[in-house]
Amino acid sequence: MARTLIDAGHETWCVGGAVRDALLGLAHLDWDLATAATPAQVRRLFARTIPVGLEFGTVGVLDREGRMHEVTTFRRDVKTDGRHAVVEFGASLDEDLARRDFTINAIAYDPIGRRLHDPFDGQGDLRRGVVRAVGAAEARMREDRLRALRAIRFAARFDFAIEQATWIAIVDSAPHLTRLSPERVKQELEKTMEQVQAPSVALRRWRDSGAFHALIPALSDVPDALLRAVDCVPRPGPAGRPLRKPLRFALLFSGLDGQQVERQLRALRFSNLDIASVSGLVDRWHRLGSALTTTLQSGTVPPDAELRRLAANVGRLHVGGFLRLCAARWAGNEAVRPAQWRALHRRLLGIAFRDPIAIADLAIDGDDLRQIGVQPGPAFGRILQGLLEHVLIDPTRNDRAILLSQARTLAASEA
Ligand code: ATP
Ligand code: MG
C-alpha cells in the first residue's frame, strides 16, 4: 500500500499507534499511513476506498484481507477551539508529526527504506516509559482538551509515567473538560475499561487531576478501594466477554446508589441497555451484597434456605454477575476470607441452577390455581409468591400435591 503511493511519487510513512506498538513489541493490526498525496490522489490510486474523514484528509483504504487502513494527507492545524481543528494540506512530514499529541505517537516509519523518523525522541520516551506532550504541553492541551484524557489512558495502558509539564497541563485542563461532548468522555472511559489491564491507575488520575470533579462530580472523591476493585475484573479482551465491561463500570460506581448511577450514565449518553445492566449490578450490590458482606465478616456462611432466598432476589440469570461483583469488592477486605467466598460462590451457583427459586419453577401454575377456584386478581400473585416462600424454605415441598394443599390454605386466608 505504501509502495503504491511511493511509486506514484508521493512521500509516505507509517505513523501513529502501530509504530508505537511495534516498537513496544505489541501486535497492532491497522497500520495507518501519512502521505504527501492529497485525498483525491489517494482515491485514484486504490480500487477500494472509503471516505472516512475527507475534510481532515483521511481516506480508508482496504487491503487484500479487507482490513481498513487510514491514509491521511500530511496536514497542519490552522485553527483549534479546544476540540475541533481546521486543517490545511500541503504540509511536510515534520509539520504533520508536530501536530500529533504525544512523542510516543509521533514516530514515523518508512516501510520501504526501513528507517524511523523521530524528531521528538518518542523512542527515548518509550524506553523511559514516559507520556510527554509534543511541544509545549499547556498549549497543546488547550488546542484539544481530549488530549488530557488520552494522556491518562496511554500512561495506564503501557504502565508509563506522565512527564511533569504534561501532568500539570492535564490538571490545568480539568476545569475545561466540560467542553468535550459527553459521547467523547464516554468513549475515553470505555476505552480505558477495555484497553487497560489495571484501570485504577488511570481512574485515580481522573480523580486527582480534577477530571472526575468536572465531568462526573459524584466520583470526585471515589475511594482507592473501589478503584482497586475495578482492577479485579479482567479487561474484556478480543474474545468478547460481554459482562466484564459493565462489571468494571458497576464497581467504579458502586459507591453511589442505583438511581444516581442511572443519572450519571444517562448524562454520559450510555445506551439504555448498558444503563440497565450497570445500574442493575450496583442496585443488587446495595440491596443484597452489603448484607452478605456483614454475614461473611462475622465468620458465618448463610444456610441453604437463606441462600435460596438470596438467589431468588438476585435472579437466576444475574447470580454470576452478582458473585463477580461481590468477589471484586471483597478482594480488598481482609475480614472476608477467600476460602469463605469460594465456598459461597460454589453453593450459591449450585442453588441458583438446581433449586426452585422462581415462580416459574413451581410444580403448579396459574391454571392449577384457577381449577381450585382462585379468581384471577391480586390475590393470585400473592398466593404464588406465598408458595414460592414455602418452597424456598424447603425445596422438597416443590411437589404438586403439597403445593395444591398449601394453595388451598392460602386461598382460604385470602378469602
Ligand atoms: P489506539 O491503539 O488506541 O488506536 P492510536 O495511537 O492509534 O492508539 P488513535 O486515536 O487511533 O490512537 O490516533 C492515531 C494517531 O493520531 C495517534 O497515534 C496520534 O498520532 C494522532 N492523534 C489522535 N488523536 C489525536 C489528538 N487528539 N491530538 C493529536 N494527535 C492525535
Ligand atoms: Mg488507532
Q: Using CA positions, which residue lies closest to atom 25 of ligand 1?
A: 101
Residues 6+ apart with CB under 8 A from 368: 400, 403, 404, 407
User: 199 alpha carbon to ligand 1 midpoint, in Å?
Assistant: 19
Query: Beta strands 68-73 and 58-62: pairing type?
Result: antiparallel
Q: How does residue 341 score in pLDDT terms, banded at 50, 70 and 90?
A: confident
Q: Is the CB of 105 under 6 A from ligand 1?
A: yes
Alpha-carbon torsion, ordered 271, 272, 273, 277, to 10 deg: 110
Mean pLDDT on 26-40: 90
- Find out whether 362 and 355 touch, Cβ atoms under 8 Å: no
Residues 6+ apart with CB under 8 A from 255: 222, 223, 226
User: 85 alpha carbon to ligand 1 midpoint, in Å?
Assistant: 14
Per-residue HEC secondary structure of 272-295 comes to: HHHHHHHHHHHHHHHHHHHHHHHH
Q: Using CA positions, which residue lies closest to atom 30 of ligand 1?
A: 100
**Mutation test residue for ligand 1: of 32, 101, 104, the one with most atoms within 8 Å of CB:** 101
Lowest mean pLDDT, pick from 236-240, 299-303, 306-310: 236-240
d(CA 396, CA 380): 23
Please report the beta strands in 171-327, taking only residues with DSSP state E, as ranges in sequence order: none
Q: How does residue 300 score in pLDDT terms, banded at 50, 70 and 90?
A: confident
**Mutation test residue for ligand 1: of 67, 96, 105, the one with most atoms within 8 Å of CB:** 105
What pLDDT score was predicted for residue 320?
Answer: 93
Residue 326 pLDDT > 90: yes
User: 398 alpha carbon to ligand 1 midpoint, in Å?
Assistant: 60
DSSP string across 86-100: EEEES--HHHHHHTS
Q: Is the CB of 166 under 6 A from ligand 1?
A: no
Classify the phi-psi angles of 159: left when phi > 0, otherwise alpha if psi is within -120 to 50, otherwise beta: left
Residue 93: which of 61, 123, 115 has the closest Cα?
115
What pLDDT score was predicted for residue 143?
Answer: 94
Q: Residue 341 in 3-state DSSP? A: helix
Give how far Cα 160 sits from Cα of 195, 207, 256, 284, 308, Å.
Answer: 14, 18, 30, 36, 47
What pLDDT score was predicted for residue 332?
Answer: 83
Which numbered ligand comes closest to the C-alpha of 18? 1
Percent of the chain with pLDDT over 90: 78
Q: How does residue 75 score in pLDDT terms, banded at 50, 70 and 90?
A: very high
Q: Is the CB of 16 under 6 A from ligand 1?
A: yes
Q: Is the CB of 100 under 6 A from ligand 1?
A: yes
d(CA 54, CA 39): 7
Residues 6+ apart with CB under 8 A from 32: 14, 15, 16, 17, 18, 69, 70, 71, 72
Residues 6+ apart with CB under 8 A from 241: 234
Cell numbers at residue 100, please? 500529533
d(CA 345, CA 42): 57
What pLDDT score was predicted for residue 53?
Answer: 87
Q: Is the CB of 70 under 6 A from ligand 1?
A: no
Mean pLDDT, the chain, rounded, equals: 93
Q: Using CA positions, which residue lies closest to atom 8 of ligand 1?
A: 17
Q: Which of 4-13, 75-84, 366-375 has the highest mean pLDDT?
A: 4-13
Q: Is the CB of 82 under 6 A from ligand 1?
A: no
DSSP string across 19-33: HHHHHTT------EE
User: 195 alpha carbon to ligand 2 midpoint, in Å?
Assistant: 12
Ligand 1 atom with least separation from CA of 97: 20
User: Which residue is listed with cell 478482594?
Assistant: 331
Cell numbers at residue 155, please? 500512561
Ligand 1 atom with least separation from CA of 191: 3
Q: How does residue 206 score in pLDDT terms, banded at 50, 70 and 90?
A: very high
User: 70 alpha carbon to ligand 2 midpoint, in Å?
Assistant: 9
Q: Is the CB of 283 under 6 A from ligand 1?
A: no
Residue 26 pLDDT > 80: yes
Residue 148 pLDDT > 90: yes
What pLDDT score was predicted for residue 395?
Answer: 95
Position 18: which residue type? A
Cell numbers at residue 311, please? 438467589
Mean pLDDT on 158-174: 98
**Mutation test residue for ligand 1: of 100, 147, 177, the one with most atoms within 8 Å of CB:** 100
User: 234 alpha carbon to ligand 1 midpoint, in Å?
Assistant: 24
Residue 148: which of 120, 125, 122, 177 has the closest Cα?
177
User: Which residue is listed with cell 441453604?
Assistant: 304
